[in-house]
C-alpha cells in the first residue's frame, strides 16, 4: 500500500533498479539513487495481479485501461490530507461520546437542583 497515493491502481517497475513501486515518492524514500525515466513502462495491475507494458510515446485513451481486466488505472490520485478528528469506538455500539441534540435548551433550564440560586428556592411551603 502506498501512503502517498491512496487509490493507486497499478504498481510500476522502475527501470533503474527493477523493483516495484506505487509512486515516485515511494521510490525516492526507499532508494538512494534518482529514478531513471524511460518511455517503456512495466505495470502490475492491483485488481487482476497481471503485468503489462505500455509505451509512453504512443499512449492513447484506450491505454488507460488494463489489457487483462479493463481496470481504469489512469485516475485522479487521492492524496492523504491532514485532519483533526476524534477517534472513538463505533457510535452504533458505544454512543457516549455523541451529544444528544434532541433535548431542547429550554428543557435543560427547567430542571432545577438544590444548588440553583433562585429567589423562589428560599420560600417555604
Give pLDDT tens digits for 11-59.
889 988 999 988 888 888 888 898 888 888 898 998 898 999 888 888 7
Q: Is the pLDDT confidence value at 105 over 60?
A: no
Q: Could you report how far apart the first and last alpha carbons of the chain are, in Å? A: 73
pLDDT at 70 over 60: yes
For residues 44 and 48, give the distance between their C-alpha atoms in angstroms, rounded to a whole number.
Answer: 9
Question: Distance between CA 68 and CA 48 in Å, rounded?
Answer: 7
Mean pLDDT of 79-106: 68
Q: Supply the mean pLDDT for the chain.
A: 77
Cα–Cα distance, 20 to 96 (Å, whole number): 45
pLDDT, greater one: 64 or 19: 19
For residues 12-22, one letter each, b for 16 or more C-beta atoms within 10 angstroms of the residue's C-beta and e for the rest, the string is bebeeeeebbb
Q: Assign 67 a pLDDT band (cuts: 50, 70, 90).
A: confident
Contact by Cβ (8 Å): 10, 16: no
Say what the pLDDT of residue 51 is.
92
On whether the CB atoms of residues 17 and 31 are closer than 8 A, the answer is: yes
Which of 51, 78, 55, 83 is CA-nearest to residue 67? 51
Q: Which of the pair, 98 or 35, is modelled with greater confidence?
A: 35
The reported pTM is 0.54
Give, as one character, the DSSP assignment of residue 27.
H
Amino acid at each position: 500500500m502506498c501512503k502517498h497515493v491512496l487509490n493507486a491502481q497499478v504498481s510500476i517497475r522502475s527501470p533503474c533498479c527493477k523493483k516495484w513501486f506505487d509512486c515516485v515518492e515511494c521510490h525516492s524514500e526507499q532508494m538512494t539513487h534518482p529514478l531513471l525515466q524511460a518511455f517503456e513502462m512495466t505495470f502490475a495491475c492491483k485488481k487482476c495481479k497481471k503485468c503489462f507494458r505500455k509505451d509512453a510515446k504512443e499512449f492513447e485513451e484506450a491505454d488507460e485501461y488494463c489489457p487483462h481486466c479493463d481496470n481504469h488505472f489512469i485516475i485522479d490520485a487521492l492524496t492523504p490530507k491532514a485532519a483533526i478528528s476524534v477517534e472513538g469506538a463505533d457510535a452504533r455500539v458505544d454512543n457516549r461520546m455523541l451529544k444528544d441534540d434532541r433535548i431542547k435548551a429550554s428543557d435543560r433550564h427547567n430542571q432545577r437542583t438544590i444548588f440553583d440560586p433562585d429567589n423562589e428556592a428560599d420560600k417555604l411551603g
